[in-house]
Amino acid sequence: MSMFHEINTPLRTIMTPGPVEVDPRVLRAMSTPILGQFDPAFTQLMNETMEMLRDVFQTKNQWAFPIDGTSRSGLEAVLCSVIKQGDKVLIPIYGRFGHLLTEIAERNGAEIHIIECEWGEVFEQEVIIEEMKRVQPDVLAIVHGETSTGCMQPLDQIGPACRELDVLCIVDAVATIGGTDVKVDEWQLDAVIGGTQKCLSVPSGMAPITYNDRVEQVVAARKKVERGISTEADQKDVLNPIRSNYFDLSQLQDYWGPRRLNHHTEATSMLYALREGVRIVLQEGLEERFARHRFHEKALIEGVKAMGLELFNDVPWKLPMVTCVKIPDGVDGESVRMMLLHQFGIEIASSFGPLHGKIWRIGTMGYSCRKENILFVLAALEAVLLRHQVKVQAGNALQAALNVYESKNIVVKS
Ligand SMILES: *Cc1c(COP(=O)(O)O)cnc(C)c1O
């Protein structure tokens, strides 16, 4: 009948900073039959997912639920629900995703203040705090783990400073959630956005978020319920209604909360996937999971260095789940990537902007972060580099990685 075959994808080893390989348990959960969105059997799954998300975010916040859409939908939902026309937003930029926060805040009418540092660096927290005192912004928006540069910005002093200066602290933790500590309550972060296709190892298409009462107050003041479903009590004049319907956190709260007021149709299969994904995270244990990410990162780093390659992000603020390797002089980085893909079925990433053509980025996230993947990518990279006439220290990489794997009592810092 049709000219098109049934889907038959090649099997890949995905070692990028997302999307990454998905745990087979999550794939199985996704084939669960559909339920109606108000079926108690389904709303129970929604509630359970919220409960587990709170643990993953290490928070007691009431609100922890997914936005339907990729990670940037979570960023858009939080930023557009919080930022009013003319609000001052301070954004420290140290890579591509800081620019994305700027772009979204700008489109929502914010008065933008940015500070930038070189790609590969992060900010001293004191520098950001001083800038907040100077600018007196309404909102600070900042990336926790910059996948474009493989760097991680410390936040533990920034959150408390925001509280003191009455600034809302909004954090992009898309790359870090489920892979390293994101201590929402302890660091006093007001709103945090996670991602699914990174360390949670769920397909892309949802963005778990959490936010506290400080954010809820701002959102509540801008609340406007859709006319077709509102009651008389809902109909009051609102000074600065949230501009987006889809991303309106006040209406989303009514959908995820006890009122169960109809909004969008929840993405059924993705919710099954997210629920199973966070269940796996909590079953493994946060500490154990973070330690696993550190452990395989160490094996990868030792292997890369033993080969004679240099890291771009060999710094104390290295993002544990992204290892950036400098492309040796004279080597066509894309040709190496393509050969890895076509000969070995391995995908690694290039980078953006000023780093394009300068580094490869190897992700060790979630289900992809496994011993056999690390050994495979090291072996394949060595072979492909030899094919590209790079004088690597042949044979050393796997031995160095195996040394890490065989040292049982290795101290893993999480
Ligand atoms: C991947 C990523 C995003 C964007 O994710 P999408 O799911 O592609 O929208 C945002 N921020 C950071 C830090 C990321 O790594």
Instruction: Write out the DSSP string of 222-291.
Output: T----GGG--GGG----SS--S-STT-HHHHHHHHSTT----S---HHHHHHHHHHHHHHHHH-HHHHHH
Number of domains in the chain: 2
Average pLDDT of span 221-247: 89
Judgement on whether residues 43 and 147 belong to the same structural domain of the protein:
yes
Amino acid type, 127: V
The tokens for 30 are 């996704």
Judgement on whether residues 382 and 256 belong to the same structural domain of the protein:
no
Q: Is 150 near ligand 1, meaning CB less than 6 Å away?
A: no
Say how many Å lie between the CA of residue 76 and the centre of ligand 1.
12
Question: Measured between alpha carbons, how far is 337 from 176 in angstroms, rounded to an integer?
Answer: 25
- pLDDT at residue 225, rounded to an integer: 87
* Residue 69 neighbours by CB distance under 10 Å: 20
Question: Measured between alpha carbons, how far is 174 from 147 in angstroms, rounded to an integer?
Answer: 9
Question: How many helices and strands in the chain, by DSSP H and E?
Answer: 13, 13
Tell me whether residue 271 is exposed, middle or buried, using C-beta atoms within 10 angstroms of its C-beta: 0 to 12, 13 to 18, 19 or more: buried
Over 60: is that where the pLDDT of 326 sits? yes
Residue 291 belongs to a domain: yes
According to DSSP H, which parts of 330-395 are helical? 333-339, 371-387
Ligand 1 atom nearest 146 alpha carbon: 13
Residue 326 belongs to a domain: yes
Say how many Å lie between the CA of residue 311 and the centre of ligand 1.
23
Domain CATH number, residue 129: 3.40.640.10
Judgement on whether residues 293 and 380 belong to the same structural domain of the protein:
yes
pLDDT in tens, 126-137: 999 999 999 999
Question: Measured between alpha carbons, how far is 100 from 93 in angstroms, rounded to an integer?
Answer: 9
Over 50: is that where the pLDDT of 414 sits? no
Domain CATH number, residue 317: 3.90.1150.10
pLDDT in tens, 17-55: 999 999 999 999 999 999 999 999 999 999 999 999 999
Average pLDDT of span 167-189: 98
Q: Which residues contact 3 (CB under 8 A, 6 or more apart)?
A: none
Residue 9 belongs to a domain: no
If phi > 0 it is left, if psi is from -120 to 50 it is alpha, else beta; for residue 329 that is beta
Beta 151-152 vs 145-146: how paired, if at all? Answer: antiparallel
Q: Which of 252, 281, 310 is the last residue of a domain?
A: 281
Choice from 104, 152, 172, 351 to test ligand 1 binding pocket (greatest atom count within 8 A of CB): 172
Q: Is 66 near ligand 1, meaning CB less than 6 Å away?
A: no
Residue 17 belongs to a domain: no
Judgement on whether residues 271 and 297 belong to the same structural domain of the protein:
no
- pLDDT at residue 229, rounded to an integer: 86
Over 80: is that where the pLDDT of 413 sits? no
Say how many Å lie between the CA of residue 198 and the centre of ligand 1.
9
Judgement on whether residues 368 and 301 belong to the same structural domain of the protein:
yes
Between 110-114, 141-145, 230-234, 379-383, the lowest mean confidence (pLDDT) is in 230-234
Judgement on whether residues 227 and 300 belong to the same structural domain of the protein:
no
DSSP letter (8 states) at residue 84: P
Residue 316 belongs to a domain: yes
* Portion of the chain with pLDDT greater than 90, in percent: 93
- pLDDT at residue 227, rounded to an integer: 84
Q: Give the range of the structural domain holding residue 242, as residue numbers without chain letter.
A: 23-281
Judgement on whether residues 345 and 330 belong to the same structural domain of the protein:
yes
Judgement on whether residues 100 and 185 belong to the same structural domain of the protein:
yes
Predicted TM-score (pTM) of this structure: 0.96
Question: Measured between alpha carbons, how far is 144 from 172 in angstroms, rounded to an integer?
Answer: 6
Judgement on whether residues 133 and 259 belong to the same structural domain of the protein:
yes
Residue 11 belongs to a domain: no
Q: Could you tell me the CA-to-CA distances from 289 to 28, 29, 94, 150, 308 in Å, in that order?
A: 22, 21, 27, 19, 29
Amino acid type, 403: N
Average pLDDT of span 284-288: 98
CB 175 within 8 A of CB 145: yes
**Nearest-5° angle of CA 13, CA 267, CA 185?**
80
CB 357 within 8 A of CB 333: yes
- Looking at the DSSP bridge assignments, the partners of residue 236 are none
- pLDDT at residue 409, rounded to an integer: 55
Peptide linkage before 320 cis (omega within 30 of 0): no
- pLDDT at residue 239, rounded to an integer: 87
Ligand 1 atom nearest 18 alpha carbon: 1
Residue 354 belongs to a domain: yes
Residue 18 belongs to a domain: no
- Looking at the DSSP bridge assignments, the partners of residue 36 are none
Judgement on whether residues 39 and 132 belong to the same structural domain of the protein:
yes
Choice from 16, 68, 71 to test ligand 1 binding pocket (greatest atom count within 8 A of CB): 71
Q: Which of 227, 246, 281 is the last residue of a domain?
A: 281
CB 221 within 8 A of CB 40: no
Q: Could you tell me the CA-to-CA distances from 233 to 142, 143, 242, 247, 298 in Å, in that order?
A: 37, 38, 18, 22, 58
pLDDT in tens, 185-216: 999 999 999 999 999 999 999 999 999 999 99
CB 398 within 8 A of CB 375: yes
Judgement on whether residues 261 and 360 belong to the same structural domain of the protein:
no
Q: Which of 234, 258, 281 is the last residue of a domain?
A: 281
Angle between helices 396-406 and 371-387 (to 10 degrees): 170
Over 90: is that where the pLDDT of 142 sits? yes
CB 136 within 8 A of CB 188: no
Average pLDDT of span 153-166: 98
In sequence order, what E strands does 76-205 have?
A: 88-93, 111-116, 139-143, 145-146, 151-152, 168-172, 191-193
- pLDDT at residue 1, rounded to an integer: 62
Judgement on whether residues 222 and 329 belong to the same structural domain of the protein:
no
- Residue tagged 């995908």 (tokens): 347
Closest CA to 150 of 107, 108, 180, 121: 121
Phi, psi of 326 (to 5 degrees): -70, 130
Ligand 1 atom nearest 143 alpha carbon: 13
